[in-house]
Homo-oligomer: A and B are copies of this chain.
Amino acid sequence: MNDQKQFHELFPNLEEGLYEELMQYGDIKEVPAGTALLKAGQTIRSTMLVLDGIVKLYQEDDEGNEFFMYNLQQGQACAVSMICTYQQEKSQVTAKAMTDVVLLTIPLEYMDKWLSKYKSWHYFVIKTYRSRYEELLKTINEIAFKNMDERLEFYLKKQVKQFGKHVKLTHQEIATDLNSSREVISRLMKKMERNGWIIINRNSFEWIKD
């Protein structure tokens, strides 16, 4: 079975019985790009594993400002939904499908059941926490110690790593992610172009440095 095979590759090192239960009780959902998967303040009833596509996690404040945290891609799980699922808590963050996305959603009750039943599930959960925690540490590092030009470079490189050299983002979208303004991003990107790091196109840019 194709799904089964692909699943083994995306999430390696789980126990055989766990794969079966994941297939049996997990719910595969296909959502189009742009779908909101998690809203700040919402109560969460299931955990998400990403099978395909890219999901963006970001913070939103009361005035509607946004701040990019990190992306999830295939083979990764949403730590926030795990965390919240646990005690049916409310999310502090927002998640959005950046591309068409295929998800495996796992109802709350299995989260808990599998933790005692499958050691590999336990490790998976821990690993998910750890890597997301580390992403947040990196993000804090950026925002606490660096100026806008360095933060922009870090951000753009991250996008290039995920989407390839040719990234489809407007200056406005980038500005929103960095909680800056379009003019500032345009200025800085123009400078990067003059320095031969990128080529700016309408609605996209191409990374040519390194």
Contacts and interface: CB of A to CB of B under 8 A. Distances in A.
Given A86-B130, A130-B83, A133-B129, A140 B141 contact: no
B69 A140 contact: yes
A141 B92 CA distance: 10
A144 to B, nearest CB: 4
Which bucket holds chain A's interface residue count?
Answer: 20 to 34
Nearest to A93: B137
A189 B130 CA distance: 37
A37 interface: no
Contact of A129 (B69, B83, B179): B83
A126 interface: yes
A122 B117 CA distance: 12
A134 interface: yes
Contacts of A83: 129-130, 133-134
Contacts of A179: 144-145
